[in-house]
Every structure is written in structure tokens, then in C-alpha cells.
Chain A
Amino acid sequence: MNKQRNQKWLDELISRAINTEKPQFDTEKWKQKYANEFQTLLSRAAKGDSARQPSILKVILKSPLTKLAAAAVIILAISFFSAHQDSSEQADTTTVSKITKSPVEMMTAISLERAFRRGGIEAVEKQCEQAFKPIGPWPRSLSVEQILAEFNDKGKSSERTRL
């Protein structure tokens, strides 16, 4: 009850401080105040449609069929690029799941001993690096604003970061 009363009091206080009433638009008053500007607008409308007729190019670009075709081209380009990507680049992302299931499993003594058996100390270090790649330890850059934004509201993080 107290909380509701406080809320009401706060609303009234805010209303007094800033005018929160919905503004009403009076057309007649506006016409009288800006008579010249109103006449110019009327004369433009009377000139006819030819001046404002869209070009053929605009029509084509605005067509839903054109948009669909453009989307198809983009999708095809992306699939072509990923299909022809260097196999070594792709291998890096799959190695982790191929060797063991999780970073924790990759960091056990027995799993690292297996890496040593296979490829010496270099293989041990490589496996450690792969294990830590997906979990951190830190992102490359993370500002305080980003952390606060993530903490408060995930959806508005980009807006807050700009502040």
C-alpha cells in the first residue's frame, strides 16, 4: 500500500517537473501561422505526378523478386566460399571435438600423457592451447561498460557500450 502511494506521489512529482500531457496538433492554427509554407506545399501537389515518377531502376530495385534474387546470390557466394576454404583452417575448429569431448577432459593428466606419447611436449602444449581456446581465460577486449551492460540488460548492451 505504501509502495503504491509512493509510486503515485513520484508520478505526480515527475508530471509537475516536466509536462507529460500528450501534445494536441491544431491544423487550422498551423495553416494561419505558416500560410506561405502551406501554399508552397499545395502548389507542389498540383504540379502532377510526372516530376515524382520513380525511375525504372528504382522500380527494379524495389521489386520483391529482385530482393529475392539478391539474397540467393549472397547465400550462394557464402556457400561457395566456405566449401573452398583451406582445409587446414577448417581443421582447427574440429580438432577439439575429434580428440576428446570437452576442455576438462583434455586437461587431465592421462589425456595429456597420451598427447605426449603421440607427439612429445609440443603435442602437450598444443592440446592445452586447444583446451583453453573455447573457455578463455579472457576475451581479447572487454570494457567496464560492456560488463555493466551485460550484467544489467543483455539486449541493450550495444547502446550502453556507445555511451
Chain B
Amino acid sequence: MKTIRNRKITKAILAVLVLLVSAPSAFAYPPDNAAVLYYKAFMLYEPPDFVPMLWDYWKGNIESNEKIEEFLKKNHRIIDIILDATRIDHCDWGLDYSQGTEVLLPPHHKARDIFALLAAEARMQADRGDYKKALARCISIYRMARHLNERPIVCYLVGTAINAATHKYLTTRFLSEMPQDIDTLTWLRDEFAEFDKQPYSVKPALRWKLEAGIISMSPERIGNVVRSGLDDGDFKEKILQRIATADEQFFERNRIYWNQYMADVISAFDLPYAQAYSMLQWLDEKPSKEFGENPDATLTVACAPPWQRIYVQHVRLEATSNAIRTAVEVYLTKAATGRLPKSLPSGVASDPYTGKSFQYAKTADGFVLRGQAKNIDKVTFHQYEFKVKK
């Protein structure tokens, strides 16, 4: 009798313990998935009726005004939601990858609107002289871009566009405007180092494209993929005709072709710039050229995006990211010694176009980092200008 009563008490205690342990996690904020907060912000945020003015403001083309200040004040809850989201490591947008290339993507156009809001807020912090907060907003935007970089190529491209705009119009300018404060610069260097442990990368998008293509190259799916993926015309009609009369062997051979093709694409992204550029141009043209003679290339024509164009975006972003990290080291030397260094400190990030350090030169009002990109047909120069506040 006593044992039965003891068991009941033990069960009751266990039940209470389970409730006590699970209750805080059930009602915890923020959630453990950043996407929940992004979706919430996308739903609640309404861009202003003066979007061009807001864009001019965060790009630094105009001064702040009452309208912008009022708008940022009104949307502080949205900003807080996004900032909370960027602090969460895990981000799962809930995409159904079993659909292959027909997977439905999140409303990334809303990410652009939200980016403009955060960028304007960052600019406002800089105007107030709080550069650490302004740079912290930049780091938040980089984290948001990393969250947006889900496996589909389009997600990677949206994140890339947001990163590129942040590099150009926010981080570079804040570094140029702010006094060389050693604490803020050291903090920024540490933030970049922390971020680079899980860098923004094109690799997941490339690997997923390979898998998605294989899923889509089935008799049930391929018709829709071709209809959605190609512009109307004779070429599309020819592909649809081939599919209409195709047997299982046709699909199998096309999957083998795609597998090899994508393996070449993935390897090409790891080559030095000049070789990668030429290799990807050749790979972009290859399936269309072989299409007439080789039916195995048919479905690759329908599924392959313009790789060379994607690669150019990828390298450009990497070059700007590395230039900013190099610039932080230069500013740190200036902050420590009171002078700009004569040459670049050792161990700085390299220029991905050449694989070597950037060329460094002092200018009248700061310094410049230069690089050159050599392709088979042309040589292009790129440079990143940084000013130094006197």
C-alpha cells in the first residue's frame, strides 16, 4: 500500500518537473529558428510611400529629415525583431527540397525592403556619431544575408546583393567617416573573425543545384521545369517534343550528363579567377552546343543557370569583403601609431582575382586598395577607396 502511494507521489513529482523544464522553452523568446522572426517582420513591415528618399538616405546621398526620423521611430519594433533574428544561429525557411528546382522560395523581395530599413537605421546611428552601433547594424545585415542564403541559387544571389550594398554604402563609408577608435576597430575585427568561422559561401547553392537537377529530371516533373525555366520559343518547343517521346533511358542518360556537368561547374568555382572565368564560359555554352547532336544534353539546357554571371558576382563580393577586412587592419595601425602604414600588415586577406595581397597606396585623404582581374580577352582594374578622418 505504502509502495503504491510512493509511486504515485514520484509520478506526480516527475510530471511537475517535466512541466517546469518544458514550460520556459515552450514560451521562450526569441525562438530557436530565425526564419520565424523574419517571416513575422516581412508580414508586418510596410515600406513607406517615399522609398526613393529612404534609399537616397541610406546611400548617403541626402541628409536626414523629419519624415525619415519619424518613419524609423515608427518601425523600431520591426527593427528589433530583425535584430533578434540575426542573433539566432539556426535559420530554417521551411523549404520543401523534395520538389527539386520547383521548390517554392520565401518572399525575398521583402528582405530587400527590410534591408533598406536596417540600412537607414545604421546610417542614422552614424549621423548621431555612434559608429560602433552603426557598424553593429552592418554586422547584423551580414548575418541576415547569411540566413537568406538558403540552398537555391536565387537565395544566394539575394544575399549577395544585400552584402554588396552593405559593403559599398555602409561599412566602407562608416570606416571612412569615423575617428580611428582602437576599441571599435578591434571589436569590428573580432566580429569579422567570428563571422568568418561560418563564411558566406556559394558552395551550398552549387551542391543543392546538382541534387535539385537530378530530382527534376524525372518524367513527372521535367515538363513543368522546362515550361517555367525557359523562355518561349523554338528551342523550348524542341525540348518539350523530345521529352514527350522520351523513355526511362533518356532520363537516366540525361541525369548522368547533368551529374558530370555539375561536377565540372563545382570544380571550376575553385580554380584561380582567370581559369574559372574561361571554364565557366565554356560550361555555359557546352549543353546548348551539344544539344543538336547529343540528346543527353537536353535536360541540362533546361536546368543550368548562367554560371559565369553567378561566378562574377561571387568573386566581386569576395574581393570587397577581403578589401574591407584589409582596410580594418590599416585603420588599426593608424589608430595605434597615429600614421598610416607604409605597406600592408602581414597576414591580411588576399585579392581573389589574383590570389595575392591588394596593392596598397596612400592618397591625399586616405588610402586605396587595388587589384587587377586578368581574363583571356581583357584586363580589368578594381580599386577600393577609403578615407581617413583627420
Chain A residues in contact with chain B, CB under 8 A? 100, 104-105, 107-114, 116-118, 121, 124-126, 128-129, 132, 137-138
Contacts and interface: CB of A to CB of B under 8 A. Distances in A.
A2 B104 CA distance: 55
B305 A113 contact: yes
A110 B107 contact: no
B38 to A, nearest CB: 13
Contacts of A104: 104
B231 A114 contact: yes
A124 B42 CA distance: 17
A142 to B, nearest CB: 13
A129 B109 contact: yes
Given A110-B102, A117-B305, A124 B154 contact: yes
A138 B39 CA distance: 13
Interface in B296-338: 303, 305-306
B153 A113 contact: yes
Given A111-B228, A128-B108, 20 more contacts: A107-B105, A108-B101, A108-B103, A109-B102, A109-B103, A109-B152, A109-B212, A110-B228, A110-B229, A112-B152, A112-B154, A113-B154, A113-B305, A114-B230, A116-B157, A116-B306, A121-B157, A121-B158, A128-B110, A137-B43
Contacts of A124: 108-109, 154, 157-158
B150 to A, nearest CB: 10
A114 B229 contact: yes
A151 B37 CA distance: 28
B53 interface: no
A121 B103 CA distance: 18
Contact of A125 (B109, B212, B228): B109
Q: Is the interface of B mostly helix, strand, loop or mixed?
A: helix
A125 B102 contact: no
Q: Is the interface of A mostly helix, strand, loop or mixed?
A: helix
A121 B303 CA distance: 18
A107 B105 CA distance: 6
A56 B158 CA distance: 70
A91 B110 CA distance: 23
A129 B158 CA distance: 14
Interface of B: 42-43, 99, 101-105, 107-110, 112, 152-154, 157-158, 160-161, 212, 216, 225, 228-231, 303, 305-306
Contacts of B42: 137
B109 A112 contact: no
A128 B109 contact: yes
Nearest to A115: B154
Contacts of B225: 110
A100 B112 CA distance: 23
A130 B43 CA distance: 16
A118 B305 CA distance: 11
Given A114-B229, A116-B305, A109 B157 contact: no
A95 to B, nearest CB: 14
A118 to B, nearest CB: 7
A31 to B, nearest CB: 66
A138 B225 CA distance: 30
A118 B229 CA distance: 11
B179 to A, nearest CB: 35
Contacts of B303: 110
B105 A110 contact: no
Contacts of A112: 105, 152, 154
A129 B47 CA distance: 13
B229 A113 contact: yes
Contacts of B43: 137-138
Contacts of B160: 121
Nearest to B213: A110
B103 A128 contact: no
B104 A125 contact: no
A132 B107 CA distance: 8
Contacts of B101: 108-110, 113
Contacts of A117: 305-306
A109 B216 CA distance: 12
A132 B225 CA distance: 21
Nearest to B157: A121
